[in-house]
């Protein structure tokens, strides 16, 4: 049996409650990510997007990627790319031609 709509709503409310408690306790993403090191978990695209959005919000004050200017996209990418570079990872930002090729 899959989760019920009530369970789904409860999960999302739980996530909000945890966020509030972390803020009250001054627990940052850094602390949470360090705790994750105890588990052998590979990052998902959703996790990467949330990391991007965390950097974006800290840098621009904007929570949604739809609010970003073209300049801000580049700025957030540079910060994110620097973080990845410290891990010896480089993924170039996709070009228009790459996007067209994949469609």
Please tell me the predicted confidence (pLDDT) of residue 102: 66
Per-residue buried b or exposed e for 68-98, using 16+ beta carbons within 10 Å of the residue's own CB: beeeeeebbbeebeeeeeeeeeeeeeeeeee
Non-local CB neighbours of 50 within 8 Å, separated by 6+ positions: none
Query: How much is the pTM?
Result: 0.72
The reply to whether 54 and 97 lie within a common domain is yes
Domain count, the chain: 2
How confident is the model at residue 82, as a pLDDT? 95
51 and 94, same domain (yes or no): yes
Range of the domain at 92: 42-103
49 with 93, same domain: the answer is yes
Residues 69 and 102 in one domain: yes
* 13 shares its domain with 49: no
Is the domain of 48 the same as that of 29?
Answer: no
Do 62 and 89 lie in a common domain? yes
CA 17 → CA 12, 14, 20, distances in Å? 9, 5, 5
In this predicted model, what pLDDT tens digit does every residue of 10-61 receive, in sequence order? 888 988 899 999 999 999 988 988 888 888 888 889 989 999 999 999 999 9
């Amino acid at each position: 049996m899959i989760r019920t709509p009530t369970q789904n709503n409860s999960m999302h409310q739980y996530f909000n409650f945890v966020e509030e408690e972390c803020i009250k306790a001054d627990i940052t993403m850094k602390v949470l990510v360090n705790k994750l090191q105890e588990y052998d978990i590979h990052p998902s695209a959703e996790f990467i997007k949330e990391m991007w959005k965390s950097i974006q919000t800290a840098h621009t004050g904007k929570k949604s990627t739809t609010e970003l200017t073209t300049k801000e996209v580049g700025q957030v990418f540079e910060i994110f790319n620097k973080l990845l570079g410290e891990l010896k990872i480089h993924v170039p930002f996709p070009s228009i031609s790459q996007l067209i090729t994949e469609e």
